[in-house]
Structure 1
């Protein structure tokens, strides 16, 4: 049976070099945010969305390799939402909105305050191109030349990734202010 909803691909394979270079210790995905690891916040939103999901944690050379591996691991998916594991503030409703829009579009990108965010949605028709990805560039080349729906959302969490210690501190302030 083929799933009727796209699968969220949570990418947790990165080395986190910028985080350590900024003074962080260990993995940015295991750094504590409001008392829980960053990745756990991301996974909580994924679970709350009710969508099928896959966590890609194996070591890969780059984001393109991680995406390709995750797509290969979910061949029956009705499409994919690519979500880096370092977006702990993304809202479940944003994940559901991108998934719903993907039912009618080849590719979907959430946009908040004029800026493109994550997850980026890809229809099942793009699976072969996603599987062929490699390197650090991710899936940007798959989007080139395509009509991509820019889906307006009110979710700063789709833009709030944790790359540095300062990013983590900003996210912590949002929690303290009651705006996760």
Structure 2
């Protein structure tokens, strides 16, 4: 399924604490099992691996079971010791290790319902280094997001918990319209494991 449009490197952000799912921190939401029988992060990773030749997953050092699971299915795994600084810290950590990539498709590990056709469409939309491609569902922008390599300096400068939103505000975007509701659904609560939740 790999094609000329899939030269991007996948980045799977899997280093959050998931405190809304379990404030005690005892249950890692990314290891919870979906109705499909796959773990949350595992399903998100497999969707990326179906389309992209390389996927780097960023995981907290203490989440050894998650790291092992993602390595087993074919992800490269990197442990981010400063994940508590926010999502941007995990993203910058991953970008620094993949800085020679043609571009990146940045995905969230708690969004396992994104369809592979959406990932492929976003990847193919990146034709130039300056492109940014975002998925749109019923007029709303979702995740994942694809970036050409010209945006590396801006992405490396990110701080805090906003991820790449700041870059999206200031650059022209290629909107990839999809009927994939999965781009809006994340796993925040136990109920979401069955029903899916639309990101607000």
TM-score for the superposition, normalised by structure 1: 0.86
Distance, in Å, in 1 between the alignment partners of 2:136 and 2:25 is 29
- CA-CA distance at 1:31 after TM superposition: 0.9
Contact 1:24 1:164 in 2 (8 A): no
1:94 correspondence with 2:96: no
2:155 to 122, 130, 139: 130
SS of residue paired to 2:187: coil
Count how many residue pairs are aligned between Structure 1 and Structure 2.
168
Distance, in Å, in 1 between the alignment partners of 2:193 and 2:6 is 35
SS of residue paired to 2:143: coil
- Within 5 Å, which residues of 2 pair with 1:44-55? 44-55=46-57
Deviations 1:59-96 (A, max 9, x none): 41211111111110101111111100011111111111
Q: Report the counterpart of residue 63 of structure 1 in structure 2.
A: 87
Superposition RMSD in Å: 2.0
SS of residue paired to 2:186: coil
Distance, in Å, in 2 between the alignment partners of 1:109 and 1:90 is 13
1:115 to 124, 140, 155: 140
Distance 1:132 1:24, change over 3 A: closer
- CA-CA distance at 1:50 after TM superposition: 3.6
Deviations 1:119-155 (A, max 9, x none): 1111100001111212111111111221111210121
Distance 1:39 1:4, change over 3 A: closer
Contact 2:44 2:109 in 1 (8 A): yes
Return the structure number with greater relative CO, CA threshold 8 A, min gap 6: 1
Q: Report the counterpart of residue 176 of structure 1 in structure 2.
A: none
- Structure 2: stretches of 5+ with no match in the other structure: 60-79
Q: Flag as ranges the 4+ runs of structure 1 deviating above 3 A.
A: none
- Within 5 Å, which residues of 2 pair with 1:135-146? 135-146=160-171
Distance, in Å, in 2 between the alignment partners of 1:50 and 1:142 is 23
SS of residue paired to 1:18: coil
- Structure 1: stretches of 5+ with no match in the other structure: 172-180
Distance, in Å, in 2 between the alignment partners of 1:55 and 1:74 is 11
1:148 correspondence with 2:173: yes
